[in-house]
Structure 1
Amino acid sequence: MNSTPPSRWLHRFAWLTAVLTLLLPVTTGAIVTTLKAGMIFSDWPSSDGYNMLAYPWLTSARDEFVEHGHRLSGMTIGLLSLSLTIAAWCLDRRRSVRAVATGIFLAVFAQGMLGGARVLMDEQLLALLHGDFAALVFSLMATLILITSPGWDQRPRLTSIDESHSISGTANVLLATIAAQYVMGGFLRHLRERGQFAWAWMVHPWFALAVVFMTVLFFFAVKGTESPHLRRCATALLCLAAVQSLVGLATWYVKYGVPSWGVVAQQDSPAQIVICSMHKVVGLLTLMSGVLAVFCSWAVKPLHQDQRTTKVATSVAGATT
């Protein structure tokens, strides 16, 4: 069956949706958590009894401004994701594109419901789930950008089955490592006052070394491959891991200071708010890149592997007739 050419407009729309998601709900959500402003309103979807669109947002205090801005940005992305799904069904006949676009809308809807449940139930575990689920939503958006990009259907594939299995396994371990680190970071941001998660204080900083090690391993595993998609993922991951390591050290510095050096952390300082929120956002981008690495490692498997499987299936079918 001949594949239909991808729509440039759909690809651009996917980029627009992802960029606005990163700049609006993801960034404002990270700031809300840093400020501990998630429960500044006890009602939802209204804000202090106001309709969401009628709340005096621009004249509100800092915490109210950030939290309500997060709600408005979430509503905006909800409308965008619905429009993106409609555009995918109208502009692209590929089932994979339609499925991912529909998954984005459903995931954005679920994310909104999680945010509302977190407020109505005043439950920190739901806050953790709401924050971590954002990475899945954004990963789906990045996947749609990838599969609607020009040349995706004609992407170069690996030629060695053994190399493909090795790269795929490395990518899977890398993603699991990043996900574990991301979840531990969520423990520290959302559940830091609960004693049963005290272990995360010691494990999270040192476990970053495992993420860096797996990132470097993946980079060298795909460095000489025929797939530009894998090489780009590896380069992006290497850069993000380096940035995240530096931002993580800066986060520790502004959050806890260095008492032995006479440096005392100033709570809710602009530097603390910006750097701690940035640590969350870069972590989300790193996890997203790990998801794309796994997806690409599966998508660039050798075609002759499928042909060999087909031949075996044909032989078996012939033997049974």
Structure 2
Amino acid sequence: MSRPSRPVAITCGEPAGIGPEIAARAWAALSNDIPMVWIGDPRHLPQDVPHRVIDSPDEVIAPSADALPVLPHPFDSAALPGVPQPGHAQGVIDVIARAVDLVQTGAACGVCTAPIHKKALQDGAGFAYPGHTEYLAALAGVDDVVMMLASDQLRVVPATIHIALDQVPQALTPMGLRRTIEITAQELQNRFGIARPRIAVAGLNPHAGEGGSMGRQEIDWIAPLILEMQGEGFALTGPLPADTMFHARAREGYDAAVAMYHDQALIPIKTLDFDRGVNVTLGLPFVRTSPDHGTAFDIAGQGRANPTSMIEAIKLAWQMGQKT
């Protein structure tokens, strides 16, 4: 494997959660293969993790097997596993911004973000965004981004994300769905190397509306939009009943699926491949991945957290970063 000088930048995430420990275990698993740098307060790492404080990502010119490279970002206190502290909130936010700056200036090949706790950030620092995805879009200065959940078994994109279910029909618009499909297709080409991506589009309603008896969005505008985009050269199928889209034979027919709302997308991938799912933000001018789970306060600091999703997220950030 080639060893270029741009590492994957890993953010600390919520210090009271499992982020620091899964980052440390991911480094141990990948330390011979992928250059990486962890950004955060070294006090928040597990005590038995060898680490080396550096001044710049330029010091990470190859995988570091002896110690985890750390770009220090001091917080006001040590972490208490399972108990988020208001004084840490701004530091968590600032570390994300710092990682984005590194990748935008070319010092890192991609960003892998450890889980944050949105309420802790809102309570401690007035965090004004629903989640990571929206904050990253603001930092990048882009309006349209797409959240993809990816594993070896499935890639799936929700057209609407962090909103209540009763808001979905109003939030779902022809222009919004079009942009989701366009960004997904473009990024599958640019970041995943798929020349002509095949995208399956779910219906909004049960049985994709069943001829209008269970909802008319499919007839009124989803199917016409798909037909229009097919005429523009997009390889689309749908709208399809969501309950028959995700079995093994169906998944062979597409490279990614576009779902209409959060749980319609996340339930299948978490059922199929819970430990290996990776969150990828598409539409940014840089690579960003994240493990597909939360802070897990209930097991933080106990050495029980499964690092597999973080390992897969770092690997995917590295692979995508080589295409930029």
TM-score, normalized by the shorter chain, greater than 0.5 = no
Over alpha carbons, which structure has the higher Rg? 1
With structure 1 as the length reference, what TM-score do the two structures score? 0.28
